[in-house]
Amino acid sequence: MSAPAPPLGAAVRILLRHAIEAYQDSPQAHGWLTHNLQRFDEPLRVAIAGKVKAGKSTLLNALVGEQIAPTDAGECTRVVTWYVDAQFPRVTMYPRGSEPQQLTINRSTGGLSFDLHGYPVEKVDKLEVEWPSQSLRTQTLIDTPGIASLSADTSSRAGAFLAPEDAPTQADAVIYLMRHLHNTDVRFLESFFDQGVARATPVNTIGVLSRADEIGAGRLNALTSARKIARRYRADDKIRGLCQTVVAVAGLLAQTGRTMRQGEFTALTALAAMPRSDIESMLLSADRFSRTELDARDAPDSQTRAQLMERFGMFGVRLATTLIRQGMTDPNAISAELVKRSGLDELRSVLATQFTERRDLLKARSALLAVDLVLTREPRPDTAPLAADVERILAGAHEFAELRLLSALRAGAIKLPKDVLQEAERLLGGDGGSAAARLGLEPDAGPQEVWDAALDAAGRWRRRGESPMSSRAVADVSREVVRSCEGILAGMRQAYGE
């Protein structure tokens, strides 16, 4: 009997090493392949993209839990900026055609600020911010310039990084922010799809309905309205074919909840002690909130209220004062509730199930694109076996078969009854790659429950595929779903023994 095939990640690593050996005499190809082999052991690279003023930097700060990304409209927001975990803070600028330079770090109210030493933004390839952060240990976050900017150079810089014409993107996955769905968003998401490996799959993209608190004009039910819109987007066939899911997040509320200061809590407590009608009258507009003259002795002054509005927004001020009025007096509890209401926890859960659990798959996909690029640019007679290995991995790896089928189902290319479609997507990993998520079980489901559910699903889909009433398309879907169920069972045999 032949030896079992190595896992996907191991197979791609072996392929990369063989490619590195084959291209030892080509410095450019050798360096590119070596870089991608090293990239396998790095944290997942997640780019945050979207139109100007979509709230990219604010969401990044919320995910990290610190205000480190500049949120103003300064020149640094027009440069692709990488945020990576490190032991000590450091910022490095990578000018085009020049040696990297370390920059001085300045802390301002809107996050970090950097002096580019007189370099024009258009001549800076990227900034790299090294920052000690537990949140950055599992994922490197990449803040990109806004697309559809009034500056053509800024827009092109974002597009060149996320959807380059002559190379795979440097990001393994993308969080795409949109305030409302516009044609610009759709066109960009379509352009992001890689050519070649797992073509046109939305597996590495998550949509975020950002600044969700503004949808309801800052009312307390604003996020409820935003979540309804996100659900509608998730059900849209066009969106389903472009990204895994859509989540509503109030980024400013999430950022402030994770970074709230004692002085802000004190000011909010003083506001909550005022008559509710007075607060509601002040919250008719941001300008009115900060400029209204207050007679109460402990009331926060105009500057303090302006800072509260900048940090919390209309919705955040209204929500925080309401919570305090209802008896919540612990600032830590207030912070936690703001984060919970913001939708950040839901987004982080989605990131864990859709990106973190698929880390090896996303890394393998990026590596195969890198090898494919070298083989295309520098074809050689003796590298034909490498090209065959790329094709073999793509054809033989069930993980990629799942991606292709999941993409086809989400795009509506294969028609199935709604309940059957939902189960197929779930079993193929559409809701997460863990056995429990695939089987629709609670995360803490026991081994026997998982085994029974996987066995039942495999039998049900096998019967569906073998039924004479099933079409060829249904039979093909059933075969792949059964393989997914058998993969769960095989994994359990390996983990728990026969």
Tell me the HSE value of 181 on the side-chain side, using a 13 A CA sphere. Answer: 21
Residue 2 has pLDDT above 50, yes or no: no
What is the SS3 assignment for 242? coil
Residue 195's pLDDT is 46
Predicted confidence band at 147 (pLDDT cuts at 50, 70, 90)?
A: confident
What is the spatial distance between Cα 185 and Cα 238, in angstroms, rounded to a whole number? 12
What is the spatial distance between Cα 359 and Cα 207, in angstroms, rounded to a whole number? 18
- Average per-residue pLDDT in the chain? 84
User: 369 near 284, Cβ under 8 Å?
Assistant: no
Residue 394 has pLDDT above 90, yes or no: no
Residue 493, judged by CB atoms within 10 A of its CB (0-12, 13-18, 19+), counts as exposed
Superfamily of domain 45-250: P-loop containing nucleotide triphosphate hydrolases (3.40.50.300)
Residue 487 has pLDDT above 80, yes or no: yes
Q: For the chain, give every residue range classified as CATH 3.40.50.300.
A: 45-250
Residues 6 or more apart from 116 whose CB is under 8 A from it?
A: 75, 76, 93, 103, 124
Across the range 192-209, mean pLDDT stands at 61
How do the residues of the chain divide into helix, strand and coil, expressed in percent and rounded to 5?
Answer: 55, 10, 30
Q: How far does CA 386 lie from the centroid of its chain?
A: 32
Residue 200's pLDDT is 39
* pTM: predicted TM-score of the whole model, two decimal places: 0.81
Residue-wise pLDDT tens digits, 260-314: 999 999 999 999 988 888 888 888 888 898 888 887 777 888 899 999 998 898 8
Residues 6 or more apart from 192 whose CB is under 8 A from it?
A: 162, 163, 169, 174, 205
Residue 216's pLDDT is 65
Least confident residue range of 33-42, 145-154, 383-392: 145-154
Q: How far does CA 204 lie from the centroid of its chain?
A: 8
Residue-wise pLDDT tens digits, 150-192: 555 666 777 778 777 767 778 888 899 987 777 777 777 776 6
Residue at token pair 């506001």: 271
Amino acid at position 261, single letter = R
| Closest among 234, 232, 50, 233 to 143, alpha carbons compared | 50
Across the range 458-481, mean pLDDT stands at 90
Residue 73's pLDDT is 56
Cα-trace Rg, the chain: 25
Contacts for 97-105: CB closer than 8 Å, 24+ residues apart? 97/123, 103/127
User: 46 near 176, Cβ under 8 Å?
Assistant: no
Edge-first strand order for the sheet with 81-85 is 101-103, 90-95, 124-131, 81-85, 139-143, 44-50, 173-178, 205-209, 246-248
Q: How far does CA 174 lie from the centroid of its chain?
A: 5
Sign of CA dihedral 185, 186, 188, 194: positive
Residue-wise pLDDT tens digits, 341-364: 999 998 998 888 778 878 888 888
Residues 6 or more apart from 430 whose CB is under 8 A from it?
A: 244, 406, 410
